[in-house]
């Protein structure tokens, strides 16, 4: 399903490159939308109020002396002055950028503007898009979490993203280090991904993700509400979280501390009427506490991707049918192999463990246990971090084709 749609998007890309201002009656109309974006003191909420009042951006600049507008919005003098002398230089730079291949500017009036995002209280009036804007209208699931996850948490995020993308869901995240980048990487293996940036569309942050960003542009989209040249200011990232959740049917939190920005995304998702999912973890792991708090507050506990697909309802029903039989078969395989599981894996449990404790539990020599651990590491079944060993299945399931580690 994803691959056929990808072919369709690729075939239509040349058309989209020539129609970045598709639903504007003229390029001048988009100019006015952009000019209003740069008005001092006009944020997303004020912008939305102006549009909701039935006022077109062009009217503000064509008739800057508007007593009705002043009375309704009590505009400060600096805004009224700006309407008489807008920043056309920045506007022209934006329009030139949108003429480049793969670059688009979508206004709220554009048919390609994602409908789910329009439903939030403060949708961005304009979206700067690099890549395929059509992907923004596909069913999406946000995956967010710690910038410094455990090895197991990163693996879970990547594998969940891969399998969910395989079912047809587009994976949305924030291009940050850790869980974000793992989610994008996993999605790119099987389908589409959307990255919501906290900078202008002409910047990539962090810089180490330039190659990843290039792949996302080729197989999805990078979007931003921030105009060209916007640096990675700290306040931009919590602000963009409402877009990550607003684009998505639900938000999955993989690992998060109690004060993590991921919990902001989860709270926004709940306020926007979207589903919130959380993966539990060890009670000894500080990065599990945010997820556990969300579960106590009503987020759905997730042990496999069916928990997500079932909750999303009709939009995910076809995908759910497609994997139901595979999950059933995998469960049988897991049950059949339980009695023949590697003795070291069996004795490890689901918490990080030292080799000394493992030697004591197994009743084997240190040399024998070390040799077995090395073999398990090479197979990808065990991870070593700081002298402690962890099993990679995280206690959820063991068949990587049907369920996530």
User: Could you say which residues of the chain have pLDDT below 50?
Assistant: 1-23, 25, 319-320, 322-324, 333, 335-341, 394-405
Q: What is the pLDDT of residue 367?
A: 73
Fold held by 337-405:
Arc Repressor Mutant, subunit A (1.10.10)
Every domain range in the chain assigned CATH 1.10.10.10: 337-405
Q: What is the pLDDT of residue 303?
A: 94
Pairwise CA distance, residues 360 & 341, whole Å: 19
Q: Which of 267, 248, 242, 285 is nearest to 146 (CA)?
A: 285
Q: What is the pLDDT of residue 373?
A: 81
The model's pTM is 0.76
The token pair at 377 is 């590491």
Q: Which of 140, 106, 142, 145 is nearest to 123 (CA)?
A: 106
Class of domain 133-312: alpha beta
Q: What is the pLDDT of residue 400?
A: 30
Q: What is the pLDDT of residue 26?
A: 57
Q: What is the pLDDT of residue 399?
A: 32
Pairwise CA distance, residues 338 & 303, whole Å: 19
Q: What is the pLDDT of residue 328?
A: 55
Q: What is the pLDDT of residue 58?
A: 87
- In order of 325, 332, 381, 383, 397, the CA distances from 338 in angstroms are 20, 10, 15, 21, 11
Q: What is the pLDDT of residue 329?
A: 53
- In order of 106, 304, 401, the CA distances from 314 in angstroms are 28, 18, 24
286-303 pLDDT tens trace = 999 999 999 999 999 999
- Write out the chain in H/E/C secondary structure: CHHHHHHHHHHHHHHHHCCCCCCCCCHHHHHHHHHHHCCCCCCHHHHHHHHHCCCCHHHHHHCCCCHHHHHHHCCCHHHHHHHHCCCHHHHHHHHHHHCCCCEEEEECCCCCCCHHHHCCCCCCCEEEEEECHHHHHCCEEEEECCCCCCHHHHHHHHHHHHHHHHCCCEEEECCCCCHHHHHHHHHHHHCCEEEECCCCCCCCCCHHHHHHHHHHHHCEEEEECCCCCCCCCCCHHHHHHHHHHHCCCEEEECCCCCCCHHHHHHHHHHHCCCEEEECCCCCCCHHHHHHHHHHHCCCEECCCHHHHHHHHCHHHHHHHHHHHHHHHHHHHHHHHHHHHCCHHHHHHCCCCEEHHHHHHHHCCCHHHHHHHHHHHHHCCCEEEECCEEEECCCCCCCCCCCCCC
Every domain range in the chain assigned CATH 3.40.50.450: 133-312
Q: What is the pLDDT of residue 228?
A: 96
């Amino acid at each position: 399903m994803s691959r056929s749609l990808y072919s369709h998007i690729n075939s239509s890309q040349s058309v989209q490159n020539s129609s970045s201002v598709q639903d504007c009656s003229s390029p001048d109309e988009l100019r006015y939308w952009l000019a209003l974006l740069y008005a001092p003191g006009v944020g997303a909420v004020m912008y939305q109020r102006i549009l909701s009042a039935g006022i077109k951006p062009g009217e503000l600049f064509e008739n800057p002396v508007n007593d009705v507008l002043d009375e309704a919005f009590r505009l400060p003098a600096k805004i009224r002055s700006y309407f008489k002398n807008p920043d056309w230089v920045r506007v022209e730079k934006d329009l030139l950028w949108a003429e480049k291949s793969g670059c688009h500017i979508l206004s709220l009036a554009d048919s390609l503007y994602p409908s789910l995002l329009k439903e939030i209280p403060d949708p961005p009036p304009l979206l700067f898009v690099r890549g395929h804007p059509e992907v923004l209208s596909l069913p999406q699931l946000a995956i967010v979490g710690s910038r410094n996850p455990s090895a197991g948490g990163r693996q879970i995020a990547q594998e969940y993203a891969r399998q969910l993308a395989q079912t047809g869901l587009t994976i949305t995240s924030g291009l940050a280090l850790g869980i974000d980048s793992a989610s994008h990487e996993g999605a790119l293996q099987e389908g589409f991904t959307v990255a919501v940036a906290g900078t202008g569309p002409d910047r990539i942050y962090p810089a180490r993700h330039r190659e990843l960003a290039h792949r996302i542009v080729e197989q999805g989209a990078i979007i931003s509400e921030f105009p060209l040249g916007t640096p990675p200011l700290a306040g931009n990232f919590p602000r963009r979280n409402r877009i990550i959740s607003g684009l998505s049917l639900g938000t999955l939190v993989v690992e998060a501390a109690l004060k993590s920005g991921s919990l902001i995304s989860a709270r926004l998702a709940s306020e926007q009427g979207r589903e919130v999912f959380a993966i539990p973890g060890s009670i000894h792991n500080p990065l599990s506490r945010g997820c556990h708090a969300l579960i106590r507050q009503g987020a759905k506990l997730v042990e496999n991707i069916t928990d997500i697909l079932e909750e999303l309802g009709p939009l995910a029903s076809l995908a759910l049918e497609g994997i139901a039989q595979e999950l059933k078969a995998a469960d049988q395989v897991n049950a059949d192999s339980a009695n023949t599981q590697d003795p070291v894996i069996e004795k490890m449990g689901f918490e990080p463990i030292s080799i000394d404790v493992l030697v004591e539990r197994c009743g084997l020599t240190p040399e024998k246990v070390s040799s077995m651990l090395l073999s398990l590491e090479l197979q990808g079944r065990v991870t070593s971090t700081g002298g402690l060993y962890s099993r990679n299945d995280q206690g959820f399931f063991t068949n990587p084709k049907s369920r996530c580690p």
